[in-house]
Amino acid sequence: MTDDPTLLAPSDQAPATATATGEPLLVAEQLTKHFPIMGGFPFRRQVGAVQAVDGIDLTVHAGESFGLVGESGCGKSTTGRLLTRLLEPTGGTISYRGRDITRAGRKELAPIRSEIQMIFQDPYSSLNPRQTVGTIIGGPMEINNVNPPGGREKRVRELLEIVGLNPEHYNRFPHEFSGGQRQRIGVARALGLEPRLIVADEPVSALDVSIQAQVINLLQELQRELGIAFLFIAHDLAVVRHFSQRLAVMYLGRIVEVGDRQSIYQRPRHPYTHALLSAVPEAVVPEDSEAESGRIRLTGDVPSPIDPPSGCRFRTRCWKAQEKCAVELPPLVQLPGNDSGHLTACHFPEAAPAGETASPAASA
């Protein structure tokens, strides 16, 4: 990445000093997406629904990196697409900088479309193979009426430099680049619109392991230096550990635990978070865990989101499940012994490590 600070300061970028304590930027409340399943003959009608996202609350603050983690199919991409308004929610609300955008139409969304950008998992299919790099990065600027000082071509060349590519490669096509370089092109395209928030949906999982760290480092530098907020989607905790100050753990369409990185990694209270942390080789698993050993191997498949378990959705795989778990949905609340903002949805949570001072339980 470039050392020239002027290249990193587009005109009305969010302030570089913004941190996790910044203003709420994007707020989702009870956000829900149920995909209808159609069937029947001769009259097609709805016979069921895939409960991909089922009533989640989350807030991304200006300038922070927020991680969203969970196994395949738990609803991460659907959440990302709902938040960027690429999908219509079935229920709940989304507000952006204090404005309700849940049902905002094309026209209303136009001014903020460029402020919320998405980086996709697959750097191969997300770039048009017939367009040059200059068009791929400059095109969205034109559509969104972004007019950088000195012109778009100059800005595209600057952006190439910012993401660690050669500005001379302006006229090249995507196939002339490696996977990691293509993902950098995707990042430059998003940056061209001077976003305040980037939703990065597993941006490195399609890349070679050796390249993953380089792309993550680039994103981390951009987040810090440009003050861009990130919603970073990943299926394991290892990637998010180095990137996100706060994170939420999703299971089968719901958030089961959310909090500051340190609090979640050192004091996971939800059995599922604990199990995910066990799978992270370098993770610290609490010594006085109620699990038999420090390491927990998750067994069984994730149930279908078409017919999820009653009560706690994790109960079919949870080693602590009791009757209450089948009948009562555990609310996402702050448990005694946890930091404020660390919320857990479990009737029988893991013990807080010894020596922790209890803080009063509060509802989310």
Name the site residues for ligand ATP (rule: CB under 6 A).
35, 50, 52, 70, 72-78, 235, 305
> Cis peptide before 42, with omega less than 30 degrees from 0?
yes
Gap between the Cα atoms of 127 and 275, Å rounded? 36
Q: How far apart are CA 338 and CA 344, in angstroms?
A: 9
Return the residue of 51, 65, 77, 278 that touches Mg ion, per CB under 5 A: 77
User: Can you point out the beta strands (E) in 97-147?
Assistant: 99-100, 116-119
For the bound state, the minimum distance from the C-beta of residue 251 to ligand SF4, rounded and expressed in Å, comes to: 9
Report if residue 84 touches Mg ion, rule: CB under 5 A.
Answer: no
Would you count residue 78 as binding Mg ion (CB under 5 A)?
A: no
Q: Which residue, among 352, 355, 292, 342, has the nearest Cα to 319 in the 3D structure?
A: 292
Closer to ligand SF4 by CB, 76 or 315: give it.
315
Q: Which one, 80 or 148, has the nearer CB to Mg ion?
A: 80
Nearer to ligand ATP, 76 or 155 (CB): 76
From 55-63, 128-136, 193-201, 309-317, give the range in contact with ligand SF4 by CB under 6 A. Answer: 309-317
Which span (60-68, 156-164, 170-178, 343-351) binds ligand SF4, by CB under 6 A?
343-351
Nearer to ligand ATP, 155 or 241 (CB): 241
Q: What is the dihedral of CA 240, 242, 243, 244, to 10 degrees?
A: 70
- Token pair in block for residue 38: 């159609």
How many chain residues interact with ligand SF4 (CB under 6 A)?
13
- One-letter amino acid of 249: V
How far separated are the first and last CA of the chain, in Å rounded? 40
Backbone angles phi, psi at 35, to 5 degrees: -85, 125
343 binds ligand SF4 (CB under 6 A): no
The 3-state DSSP class for residue 50 equals strand
Q: Which residues bind ligand SF4 (CB under 6 A)?
A: 270-271, 312, 314-315, 318, 320-321, 325, 330, 346-348
